[in-house]
Amino acid sequence: MTSQPAAAHAATTEDFVNNLAAVNQRIAAAASTAGREARSVRLLPVTKTIDIERLSLAIAAGVDTLGENKVQEAQGKHEAFRERFEHLRYAVIGPLQTNKAKFVAQFAHEFHALDSLKLAQTLQRRLELEDRSLEVFIQVNTSGEESKSGIAASAAPALLDGLSSLDRLTPVGLMTMAANTTDEHQIRASFSSLRETLESLQPNAPQGFKHLSMGMSGDYELAIAEGATVVRVGQGIFGARNYA
């Protein structure tokens, strides 16, 4: 069974404490059902469209990583929080144009949507200038949908090999988005395909290349059943988004 995509709207620190606890309980239950420990799955809060005031409450409730799709939004939040919350980590989880790599190099700790060697090389140069490093996930399009970013699984070995000479990038695993459907079999197929791709890469992969970033508010339990180690949850923590 998939999780309910949106929690009750969180407007106080107590609301966030409750919503985080509910998500973590579901993660633990899904992991247990899969014969895994809850600690093998990391919750990555997706904070896109959430304003600074509400994010401050979420941080007080225990959120320590901000997952953002848009670089400018992520950078703005980094500027707002860097003096108040030095412990925060920033994860860019959406597609990235090479001309914006310089911004990611300045503040991000994780990048979940690496899809080309050209982008990796640009990030490497920018990270050298900033004297920083960056954990990266290679994004694989496991659904075959043209609307989704990511490379084909068959292209992953070459991209991973190309990263071996880029010392500012630390490849830690793969990322995908499930098929856009209510069919749980298709959703699980997207996740199992990513797991199989990871398994095929690991014999020649660097140490630490072991993570699967997959599953969102509506399907993270299915992702955990297929081996997810990072689940990206937004509406399950913050409630339904207002894109106005």
Residue 7 forms part of a structural domain: no
- Report the predicted TM-score, pTM, of the whole model to 2 decimal places: 0.95
Coil, strand, or helix at residue 44? strand
pLDDT at 6 over 80: no
Q: Please, which pLDDT band fits residue 146 given cuts at 50, 70 and 90?
A: confident
Residue 104 forms part of a structural domain: yes
Distance CA 26, CA 24 (A): 5
Residue 88 forms part of a structural domain: yes
Distances (CA, A) of 145 to 97, 151, 177, 226: 20, 11, 10, 20
Distance CA 5, CA 188 (A): 16
Number of domains in the chain: 1
Task: Locate 146 and state its tokens.
Answer: 């043209």
| Stretch 172-185: mean pLDDT | 95
Residue range of the domain that includes 193: 13-238
pLDDT for residue 240:
85
Summarised one tens digit per residue, pLDDT across range 11-47 is: 999 999 999 999 999 999 999 999 999 999 999 999 9
pLDDT for residue 5:
66
pLDDT at 1 over 60: no
